[in-house]
């Protein structure tokens, strides 16, 4: 019977790249059906897999995921409890100290600098992309 869920049942603040895993006493000849999703009764997402880990891809922030494992050996099946875990909250990214030179003329190079910090309470491995939108118009 599948036991020992990782992350542990009802764990919070899990990274968005979490790959759920489980253990079994004797896995010889077993295959596993993985049920995973945001519904309390999660759908089948991987059938008859051999490994003890499931890679759901990148998960959403601040979301509870439910999952269970059904192990199979011939006609025998063993079903785990439904487990759940919650991912970390979206980081609170704040742009600070955006600066540039004053007025610039035609065909001049403009240097911009800025700093972004996570102002939230959680440390996060989240990745983010810096984008800059510049509007040029006349008259100013």
Q: What is the pLDDT of residues 54-75, one digit of tens each?
A: 999 999 989 999 999 999 998 9
Provide the CATH topology of domain 3-87.
Immunoglobulin-like (2.60.40)
Domain ranges of the chain: 3-87
In this structure, are strands 11-14 and 83-87 parallel, antiparallel, or unpaired? parallel
Q: Which distant-in-sequence residues (6+ apart) come within 8 Å of 86 by Cβ?
A: 11, 12, 13, 14, 62, 63, 64, 65
Which pTM value belongs to this model?
Answer: 0.69
Residue 79 has a pLDDT of: 96
When pLDDT is cut at 50, 70 and 90, the band that residue 100 belongs to is low
**Residue 89: band (very low, low, confident or very high) from pLDDT cuts 50, 70, 90:** confident
So what's the pLDDT on residue 90? 77
CA nearest neighbour of 93 among 115, 112, 113: 115
Residues 83 and 39: their CA atoms lie apart, in Å, by 12
CA distance 89 to 124: 9
pLDDT at 111 over 70: no
């Amino acid at each position: 019977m599948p036991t020992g869920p990782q992350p542990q049942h009802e764990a919070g603040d899990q990274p968005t790249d979490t790959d759920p895993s489980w253990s079994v006493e004797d896995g010889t000849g077993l295959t596993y059906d993985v049920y995973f999703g945001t519904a309390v009764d999660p759908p089948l997402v991987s059938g008859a897999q051999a490994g003890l880990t499931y890679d759901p891809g990148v998960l959403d922030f601040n979301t509870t995921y439910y999952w269970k494992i059904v192990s199979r050996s011939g006609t025998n099946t063993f079903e785990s409890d439904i487990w759940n875990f919650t991912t970390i909250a979206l980081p609170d990214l704040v742009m600070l100290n955006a600066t540039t030179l004053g007025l610039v003329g035609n065909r001049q190079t403009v240097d911009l600098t800025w700093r972004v910090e996570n102002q939230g309470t959680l440390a996060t491995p989240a990745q983010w992309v810096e984008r800059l939108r510049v509007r040029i118009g006349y008259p100013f």
